[in-house]
Amino acid sequence: MELVFATQNLHKKDEMEALLKGHTLIMPRQLSVDYSFDETGSTLIENALGKAMHLYRLCKRPTIADDTGLFIDALGGNPGVRTARYGEDHFGRLLESHERNEYLLENMKGITGSARSARFACALALVLDTQRIFVFQETLEGMIASEPDGREGFGYDPVFYLPSQGRTLAQLSSEEKNSISHRARSAKALLALIDSFEKGD
């Protein structure tokens, strides 16, 4: 199936394409679609569904969209739905990934051990038409590392430590990450659904 992916982020597109093997992802700009969406929802599901629906209205083709958040217990669940905009209120501008990680670690100073627990969550929405809409959400449990480590992945991956792996997400290969991540788990459910449609189940 050919799906239009509601993102301008090539990293996300490449990662999602690897997860949805056998299906083709197209970015809006490849269709000359002027796509932008203000993520004002109070949940990841609201944002993912809002993006997918908005893009569907623009292109009238099957669309998918995701919204991912990092939820840290010691910070009251923050950055949460504002994960990509974390620190913007403090600095008055959108931060680069490494700056967000530095700001996060600064805010975690003095917090030790199990109190550094956190989870990634990924909501993934599929819109086939205005009456056929599906949403999945999965999580990945971990901890906030004391310092960044690893060169793979993107975003908060260098500071998200997986006790079961003994490494951060950024220290995993793309294949390893795509076998366990929050996005991978949501994509697996989506893939099973799409495949069932194509088989006529």
Amino acid, single-letter form, for residue 41: G
Residue located via tokens 């908060």: 156
Task: Determine contact, residues 190/134, Cβ cutoff 8 Å.
Answer: yes
Report the distance separating Cα 195 and Cα 201, nearest Å: 9
Task: Output phi, psi for 144, to 5 deg.
Answer: -90, 120
- Whether 67 is catalytic is yes
Q: Yes or no: say if 189 and 136 are a contact pair by the CB < 8 Å rule.
A: yes
Contact 68, 44 (CB under 8 A): yes
Cα(97)–Cα(158) distance, integer angstroms? 10
From 14, 34, 38, 67, the catalytic residue: 67
Which residue numbers are catalytic? Answer: 67
